[in-house]
Amino acid sequence: MSAFTLLSKLQYEIKKPAIRVQVISKWRTTTSETELLVVDEMGSKIQGTFHDECMESNKIIVKEGEWYEIYNFKLIHNFRMVKTTTNRYHVVTNVNTVITKLEARLTCNYYVFKDFKTIIRGLAHPKFCIDIYGSLVFVGNLEFVEVAAGIVKPKTVFSLINPEYSPINCVAYGTTAVELLTYWNSRKANVVLCVLSVWQIERDEGGFRFMTNIEGCLKIVFEPNIPEIEEFRKN
């Protein structure tokens, strides 16, 4: 097998590349493809399309949170309108791709947080999803809205404040909206700290509107043990 390549060092010229990664998110697209968002031990991320025939040939079910070696895949340029990572490439598997499960490894802090002021002032590019953290101060009631022709999804609006008590507005759709409202209504603590991981910046001609989710790959992580949240708790 080839030497392992860090995600930040991937290049077209590498023949039969090999990576060692942890799965952050796994979801099915509208075309029934499996998409994975993965991170390496240095905290770099990349998204990939993992075809069913690849999973079947490897006789493996890839799960979130677990580590894998992935060998002999194709790299294509990431031309998506909204990108889940800043990596220029996108991984695509085939029947010859080899996926091997690894023993659990140390999980790195892969969040790359943007400051609320940077987002609201329009200094964070809306084509890249970002991470933010803060304290939940409001979660609205569940609504059901038509997001596309004939497609109705649950929706809730909510707000976070950062350590400087600056607010930011957010909108969650789908199962994320339901899970968020359920957590909020069942909370026992007065303060709920959380991370919004891989969320999209929604803008219009007037500037920033709100943060919203790309259902499938995003995460809301409640009370994670990371330095930023630990520092927030001290305030």
pLDDT top residue among 24 and 190: 24
Instruction: For tokens 């490894």, name the residue.
Output: 105
Average pLDDT over residues 129-138: 97
* Distance of alpha carbon 215 from alpha carbon 185, whole angstroms: 22
CA distance readout (Å), 69 to 50, 58, 72, 74: 14, 12, 10, 15
pLDDT in the model for residue 206: 81
pLDDT in the model for residue 119: 96
pLDDT in the model for residue 105: 81
pLDDT in the model for residue 217: 80
List, in order of start, the domains of the chain with CATH numbers: 7-101 (2.40.50.140), 116-234 (2.40.50.140)
pLDDT in the model for residue 2: 61
Read off the pLDDT of residues 167-208 as tens digits, 9 standing for 90 and up.
999 999 999 999 999 999 998 888 999 999 999 999 988 899
* Distance of alpha carbon 201 from alpha carbon 122, whole angstroms: 9
- The HSE-up count of residue 178 (CA atoms within 13 Å, CB side) is 6
Read off the pLDDT of residues 39-62 as tens digits, 9 standing for 90 and up.
999 999 999 999 999 999 999 999
Is the pLDDT at 235 greater than 70, yes or no? yes
pLDDT top residue among 2 and 214: 214
Is the pLDDT at 1 greater than 60, yes or no? no
